[in-house]
């Protein structure tokens, strides 16, 4: 029976949310195609991850285990996945459009002679030929393309939220231990050290207050902080985010960036301050329940997607707003 | 230090930062219509900036490689004005609208024809199709080390050291040269180039070689075109914005505060 293979990614020792979504995507496709879903857990010690991945109704989970697979090193991971794909010849290979997927999938696709579509928001089989129909936003989100590729395997990386996360089931997947044929000579890029930086998880916020290029000085972010402080008592977890120019100026680290190449989030409230509303920014926050825009330009695109707008200089408005919120509380 | 021969792959695309009201979809022709001038894909400008900084340290030559139809002189000469030494265009009807793997194959043929390179820089992703594949595949085809998402690049002897962005911060990696590095915006924007300098270059043109199918690829049928089944406009993002009005700033602030209280 033909096989759909997907790559498991891990968070705190368990499959992460993107992987659970990918599993559901794989299971849906398998139903349509009469195929089986397999997942692969790669690493130097995969038993716990595989046990946990085995609870989600897939046919099997491969433990692709090797000492060299400790941590994520692209060269060796690509080599290991190539080894597995040559062994099992999957019809479809899926990964998350994550840090790991973005780097691994294109290189793997070349080695497997397959055409890959990245960052898909939907996948379905073409009933005529069983090939994958790939739905992918292009031009930053200004258009949505529907693509097909010939040849096997069919390969795609999938954007967060494309599918509902899979639910646990009673039955267990078969777990198969595989030892890929790997050696040090495959590692052409050597990791010297990693620099841990404190990372914010923007998707944990109830409210995000984001500043853009309209914020004149780095110090002005303290105004956004003051607003966050005033809202925290009543609105839960309030975090500060930004658009890309703020990261480019090194005023904030890139984990604060919202958008196509940053985080894609859906908080209860998003307050955009001095952000024009470029499509690459909008795709990261358009699913927010309520959007408030503060901008001096009444014609800017951010107002077109906002629920509430104030045409005003943030330097004047925000201090007055903070004062009022504090009076009200 | 050894002089470096650096190849920068730069794609010309419709301005991806054009306001969305200037972008429309022609469903019949399956084309995105952008009412804005073409630009060099932004991450490729970052890659060029990284190349120029390396050249400033080590000396050497920067060759910009661009594949595509009707490439505009003004846009591409900006690369020379900024600090590239030469420009090679890959132009052929057969090179249009290719799958990533085929695009990388054409670029690899040109890279081999140039030969003797130390470093290839690409953008992390092109701003039109947002694919993020061509650089990585190009490295695979050439069989050279591949480092992605560079924030900064340093050459030391016969090795390249890269600080790359990873989800938990940064990772310092190194490999032998020649290598391919994909560049992210953290590297920094392309230096300012005076328009007069670009226009001056147009008057005294440097020769720009154009390579087509016959110069690069033996036989036909190797290149796969993208199979675009359908092109759709994006889901409507518009909401009905309620503008908060007031005769003073405090009045607007008070009204906005009341709205925020209710959320
Ligand atoms: C492939 C690609 C990926 C990208 N990914 C991302 C991404 O993930 N995230 C992202 O954000 N961008 C991304 N971008 C960049 C994006 O296209 C825009 O350039 C960027 O979002 C613009 O940021 P901005 O709105 O802050 O700046 P601008 O567009 O310059 O807007 C600044 C706004 O501030 C307003 N303003 C100025 N002064 C004041 C004041 N005193 N008070 C109030 N308002 C004021 C102005 O009216 C203007 O609307 C990407 C681009 C590409 C090509
Ligand atoms: N037609 C092209 N000409 C030159 N370089 C290209 C071309 N297409 C892609 N590239 C390079 O490959 C990178 C990734 O492109 P993509 O895979 O299309 O997102 C770009 O940032 C460029 O550096």
Q: Tell me the pairing of strands B146-156 and A269-273.
A: unpaired
pLDDT at A270: 98
pLDDT band at B71 (very low <50, low <70, confident <90, very high): low
Looking at ligand 1, which atom is closest to the CA of residue A276?
A: 49
Q: For B201-253, what is each residue's pLDDT tens digit?
A: 777 777 889 999 999 988 777 899 999 999 999 999 999 999 999 999 999 99
Instruction: Give chain A positions within 8 Å (CB) of B171.
Output: 191, 193-195
pLDDT at B208: 86
What residue ranges of chain A have pLDDT lower than 50? none
| DSSP per residue, A186-213 | G--EEEEEEEE-----GGG-SEEEEE-T
Mean local confidence (pLDDT), B65-72 = 82
For residue B69, is pLDDT > 80? no
Ligand nearest to the CA of A261: 1
For residue B144, is pLDDT > 70? yes
Q: Which of B16, B133, B183 to mutate to test the pocket of ligand 1 (most atoms within 8 A of CB)?
A: B16
Instruction: Give chain B positions within 8 Å (CB) of A316.
Output: 249
Annotate A102-112 with b (16+ C-beta within 10 A) or e (fewer): bbbbbbbbbbb
What does residue B115 show for φ and ψ, rounded to 5 degrees? 70, 170
Sign of CA dihedral B120, A147, B166, A23: negative
Q: Is B141 on the interface with A (CB under 8 A)?
A: yes
**Nearest chain B CA: its distance from A172 CA (Å):** 31
Ligand nearest to the CA of B126: 2
Q: Is A190 on the interface with B (CB under 8 A)?
A: yes
pTM (predicted TM-score): 0.96
For residue B21, is pLDDT > 70? yes
Which residues 124-183 on chain A approach chain B with CB closer than 8 angstroms?
A: 133, 137-150
Which residues on neighbouring strands pair with residue B34, listed in sequence order?
B23
Q: Is A12 on the interface with B (CB under 8 A)?
A: no
The residue among A173, A175, A156, A130 whose CA lies nearest residue A35 is A130
| Class of residue A86 by CB neighbours under 10 A (exposed 0-12, middle 13-18, buried 19+) | exposed
| DSSP per residue, A91-154 | SEEEEESSHHHHHHHHHHHHHTT--EEEEESEEEE-TTT-PEEEEEEEGGGTEEEEEE--SSSE
* ipTM for the complex shown: 0.95
- Please state, for a pLDDT cut of 90, what percent of chain B lies above it: 84
Query: Half-sphere exposure of A205 toward its Cβ, with a 13 Å CA cutoff?
Result: 27
The response to whether residue B108 sits with its C-beta less than 6 Å from ligand 2 reads no
For residue B70, is pLDDT > 70? no
CA A245 → CA A275, B38, B53, B95, B126, distances in Å? 10, 21, 21, 33, 18
Which residues 287-326 on chain A approach chain B with CB closer than 8 angstroms?
A: 290-293, 298, 301, 303-312, 316-317, 320-321, 323-325
User: What is the overall mean pLDDT for chain B?
Assistant: 93
The response to whether residue B46 sits with its C-beta less than 6 Å from ligand 2 reads no
| Helix residue spans in B83-164 (DSSP H) | 100-114, 134-142
Both tokens of A24, joined, read 């559901």
């Amino acid at each position: 029976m033909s096989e759909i293979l997907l790559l498991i990614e891990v968070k705190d020792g368990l499959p992460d949310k993107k992987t659970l979504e990918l599993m559901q995507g794989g299971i849906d496709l398998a139903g349509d195609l009469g195929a089986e879903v397999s997942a692969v857990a790669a690493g130097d010690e995969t038993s716990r991850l595989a046990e946990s991945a085995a609870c989600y109704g897939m046919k099997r989970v491969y433990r692709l285990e090797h000492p060299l697979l400790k941590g994520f090193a692209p060269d060796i991971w690509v080599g290991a996945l190539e080894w597995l794909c040559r062994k099992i010849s999957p019809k479809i290979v899926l990964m998350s459009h994550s840090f790991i997927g973005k780097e691994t999938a294109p290189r793997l696709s070349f080695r497997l002679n397959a055409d890959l579509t990245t960052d898909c928001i939907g996948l379905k089989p073409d009933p005529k030929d069983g090939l994958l129909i790939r739905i992918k936003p292009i031009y930053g989100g200004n258009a949505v393309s529907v693509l097909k590729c010939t040849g096997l395997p069919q390969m795609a990386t999938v954007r967060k939220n494309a599918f509902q996360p899979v639910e646990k089931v009673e039955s267990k997947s078969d777990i198969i231990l595989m030892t890929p044929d790997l050696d040090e000579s495959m590692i052409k890029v050597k990791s010297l050290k990693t620099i841990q930086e404190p990372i914010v998880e923007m998707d944990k916020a109830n409210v995000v207050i984001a500043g853009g290029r309209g914020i004149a000085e780095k110090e002005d972010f303290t105004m956004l902080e003051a607003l966050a402080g005033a809202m925290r008592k009543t609105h839960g977890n309030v975090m500060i985010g930004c658009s890309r120019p703020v990261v480019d100026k090194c005023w904030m680290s890139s984990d604060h960036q919202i958008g196509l190449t940053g985080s894609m989030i859906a908080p209860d409230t998003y307050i955009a301050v001095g952000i024009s509303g470029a499509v690459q920014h909008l795709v990261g926050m358009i699913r927010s329940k309520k959007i408030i825009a503060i901008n001096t330009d009444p014609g800017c695109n951010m107002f077109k997607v906002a629920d509430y707008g104030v045409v005003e200089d943030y330097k004047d408005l925000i201090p007055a707003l903070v004062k009022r919120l504090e009076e009200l509380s | 230090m050894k002089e470096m021969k650096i190849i920068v792959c730069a794609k010309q695309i419709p301005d991806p930062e054009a306001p969305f009201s200037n972008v429309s979809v022609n469903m019949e022709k399956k084309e995105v219509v952008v009412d804005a001038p073409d630009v060099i894909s932004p991450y490729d400008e970052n890659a060029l900036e990284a190349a120029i900084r390396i050249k400033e340290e080590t000396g050497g030559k920067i060759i910009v490689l661009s594949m595509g139809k009707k490439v505009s002189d003004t846009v591409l000469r900006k690369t020379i004005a900024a600090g590239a030494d030469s420009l090679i265009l890959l132009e052929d009807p057969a090179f249009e609208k290719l799958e990533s793997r085929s695009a990388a194959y054409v670029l690899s043929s040109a890279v081999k024809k140039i030969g003797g390179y130390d470093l290839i820089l690409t953008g992390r992703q092109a701003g039109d199709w947002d694919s993020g594949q061509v650089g990585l595949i190009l490295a695979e085809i050439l069989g050279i080390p591949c480092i992605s998402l560079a924030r900064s690049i340093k050459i030391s002897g016969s090795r390249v050291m890269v600080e790359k962005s990873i989800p938990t911060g940064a990772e310092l990696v190194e490999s032998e040269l020649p290598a391919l590095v994909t560049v992210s915006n953290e590297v920094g924007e392309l230096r300012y180039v005076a328009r007069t300098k670009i226009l001056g270059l147009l008057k005294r043109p440097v020769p720009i070689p154009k390579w087509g199918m016959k110069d690069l690829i033996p036989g036909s049928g190797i290149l796969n075109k993208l199979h675009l089944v359908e092109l759709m406009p994006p889901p409507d993002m518009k909401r009905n914005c309620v503008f908060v009005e007031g005769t003073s700033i405090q009045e607007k602030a008070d009204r906005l505060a009341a709205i925020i209280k209710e959320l």
